[in-house]
């Protein structure tokens, strides 16, 4: 540690670079500023000392990553968010750290933030939509508001950073027409655990994490009215698939009837899981209906890839698991099912959003989905 007294400093010319450097010792640390000439470097040095005196920069070396971590530890964890909302903030934080984490807070500018957002909007694989970029910017804004309250920065540059005009709007969700849905239903019969998982989604409209989180203690195949009860979900926790008890909303906890065809399929899946367990020496039994090869939950990335592959091999549009749920809802609504009933089946707390999203459909109905839902064919 230096013995130099706080506030002692000097201005000198950097012979190699040609510009002028102002140095001052604050809190036992050497701080530097640069300027095109001696006068400007001296002015910036005095401003730095004044800011330090007001407590606006308690640590001139603090980075964006430091601020994000502090905000996560002090603010985010204290929020009463649903798991999916918490995951969205964690995802946004990861984007911020990846793009801006090493940047010192005092050097962060609106232009630097815009460059990072532009990079995410134009990345070659899965570029972020305008909606996603807004959430990343909003999260960074909240982090920097916190840093401002902690006197780590003066102004918040995220509040004036603009999104690139070319950022894509969020694409409308795709769904299958009757013939496509019937073909997908058929080919999924030969796809083992993934096929069974996606058939349940198509027939019940469960959220992807809810379907992946089904356990055998939530399945009743023996009663006069076979059903499944949604009480768990698979979530991504620090990039790992975890089985959690907390669902998105209170309405998400629900019981859904299943058809004889689904009953038969789930009975076959139980036999398949038993065989998987015998074949895996490192099996950890979690009671999952749709486990991985070691008994754990299937993670979201593998589920997305599996469904895309199945659709592609069948010559169908590549759907995401969320779009499979969208297809299930569209099939039922256009088949004449009351919106209120569909909202209950999907686990929505009200049917207004459902009506806005799905009433635009013309007639995407498939008999197999109606049969799986109601147990009757047209």
Convert the pLDDT of each residue in 305-355 to its tens digit: 999 999 999 999 988 898 898 888 888 877 777 777 777 878 876 666 565
Mean pLDDT computed over 38-58: 67
**DSSP code at position 242:** E
Confidence of residue 169 (pLDDT cuts 50, 70, 90): low
> What tokens does 372 get?
């799986």
Distance separating alpha carbons of residues 324 and 202, to the nearest angstrom: 6
Per-residue pLDDT band for 33 (boundaries 50, 70, 90) equals confident
* Residue ranges of domains in the chain: 9-54, 64-160, 178-374
> pLDDT band at 276, cuts 50/70/90?
very high
pLDDT band at 88 (very low <50, low <70, confident <90, very high): confident
φ and ψ at 219, to 5 degrees?
Answer: -115, 125
Q: Which residue has the higher pLDDT, 30 or 67?
A: 67
User: What is the second-level CATH architecture of the domain 178-374?
Assistant: Orthogonal Bundle (1.10)
What secondary structure letter does DSSP report for 78? G
pLDDT greater at residue 1 or residue 240: 240
> So what's the pLDDT on residue 166?
62
Average pLDDT, integer, range 238-261: 83
Asked if the model's pLDDT at residue 165 lies above 80, the reply is no
What's residue 286's pLDDT? 92
Q: Is the pLDDT of residue 302 over 50?
A: yes
Top mean pLDDT of 20-34, 138-152, 162-176, 245-259 is at 138-152
Question: pLDDT grade, residue 6 (50/70/90)?
Answer: very low
Q: How many CB atoms lie within 10 A of CB 282?
A: 7
Structure tokens at 314: 């069948």
Give the CA distances from residue 286 to residues 155, 268, 270, 277, 280, in Å, rounded to whole numbers and listed in that order: 49, 18, 13, 11, 14
Measured in Å, how far apart are the chain's first and last C-alpha atoms? Answer: 82
* Strand ranges in the chain using DSSP code E only, listed in sequence order: 9-13, 20-26, 29-35, 219-220, 227-230, 233-237, 240-244, 254-257
Predicted local confidence at residue 357, as pLDDT: 57
Position 236 scores a pLDDT of: 74
Number of separate helices (H) and strands (E) present in the chain: 14, 8
CA distance 322 to 248: 14
What pLDDT does residue 134 have? 93
CA distances from 339 to 1, 331, 373 (A): 70, 12, 14
pTM above 0.75, yes or no: no
Average pLDDT over residues 18-47: 79
User: Mean of the per-residue pLDDT values for the chain?
Assistant: 82
Separation between Cα atoms, residue 236 and residue 84, nearest integer Å = 9
Residue 94 C-alpha from the chain's centroid: 10
Q: Which structure tokens are listed for 335?
A: 């088949």
Q: What is the mean pLDDT of residues 49-68?
A: 68
Written out in words, the top-level CATH class of the domain with range 64-160 is mainly alpha
- On whether the CB atoms of residues 226 and 258 are closer than 8 A, the answer is yes
Residues 203, 258: contact at Cβ < 8 Å?
A: yes
Average pLDDT over residues 351-369: 46
Distances (CA, A) of 318 to 189, 322, 358: 18, 12, 20
Inter-residue long-range contacts of 243-247, CB under 8 Å, 24+ positions, other chains counted = 243/213, 243/215, 243/286, 243/288, 243/297, 244/83, 244/213, 246/82, 246/83, 247/82, 247/83, 247/210, 247/347
Percentages helix, strand, coil for the chain (3-state, rounded to 5) are 50, 10, 35
State the pLDDT at residue 60: 63
pLDDT recorded at residue 351? 60
Q: How many angstroms separate the CA atoms of 243 and 353, rounded? A: 27
- Looking at the chain, the whole-number percentage of residues with pLDDT higher than 90 is 42
pLDDT at 257 over 50: yes
Percent share of the chain, pLDDT over 70: 82
- pLDDT at res. 59: 52
* pLDDT attached to residue 5: 47
Look at residue 359 in the predicted model and tell me its pLDDT.
47
Q: Reply yes or no on whether the pLDDT at 127 is more than 50.
A: yes
pLDDT of residue 239: 64
pLDDT at 86 over 60: yes
* Structure tokens given for 81: 């968010």
């Amino acid at each position: 540690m230096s013995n130099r007294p706080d506030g002692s400093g000097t201005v000198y010319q950097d012979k190699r670079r040609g510009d002028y450097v102002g140095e001052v010792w604050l809190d036992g640390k050497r701080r530097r500023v640069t300027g095109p000439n001696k006068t400007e470097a001296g002015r910036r040095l005095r401003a730095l000392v004044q800011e330090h005196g007001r407590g606006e920069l308690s640590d001139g070396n603090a980075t964006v990553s430091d601020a994000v971590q502090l905000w996560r530890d002090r603010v985010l964890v204290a929020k009463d968010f649903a798991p999916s909302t918490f995951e969205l903030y964690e995802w946004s934080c990861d984007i911020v750290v990846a793009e801006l984490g090493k940047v010192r807070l005092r050097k962060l500018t609106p232009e630097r933030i815009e460059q990072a957002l532009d990079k995410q909007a134009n990345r070659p694989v899965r570029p972020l939509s305008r909606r996603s970029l807004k959430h990343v910017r909003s999260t960074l804004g909240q982090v920097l508001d916190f840093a401002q309250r902690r006197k780590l920065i003066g102004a918040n540059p995220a509040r004036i950073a603009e999104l690139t005009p070319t950022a894509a709007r969020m694409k409308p969700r795709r769904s299958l027409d009757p013939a496509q849905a019937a073909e997908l239903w058929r080919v999924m019969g030969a796809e083992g655990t993934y096929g069974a998982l996606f058939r349940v989604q198509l027939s019940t409209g469960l959220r992807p994490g809810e379907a992946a989180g089904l356990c055998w203690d939530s399945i009743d195949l023996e009663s006069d009215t076979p059903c499944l009860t949604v009480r768990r979900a698979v979530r991504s926790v620090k990039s790992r698939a975890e089985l959690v008890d907390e669902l998105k909303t209170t309405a998400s906890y629900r019981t859904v009837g299943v058809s004889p065809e689904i009953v038969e399929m789930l009975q076959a899946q139980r036999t398949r899981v038993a065989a998987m367990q015998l074949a895996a020496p490192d099996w950890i039994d979690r009671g999952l209906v749709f486990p991985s090869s070691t008994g754990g939950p299937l993670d979201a990335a593998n589920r997305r890839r599996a469904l895309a592959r199945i659709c592609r091999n069948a010559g169908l549009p590549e759907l995401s698991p969320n779009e499979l749920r969208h297809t299930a809802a569209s099939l039922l609504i256009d088949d004449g099912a009351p919106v209120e009933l569909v909202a209950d089946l999907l686990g929505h707390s009200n049917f207004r959003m459902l009506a806005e999203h799905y009433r635009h459909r013309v007639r995407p109905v498939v008999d197999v989905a109606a049969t799986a839902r109601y147990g009757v064919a047209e």
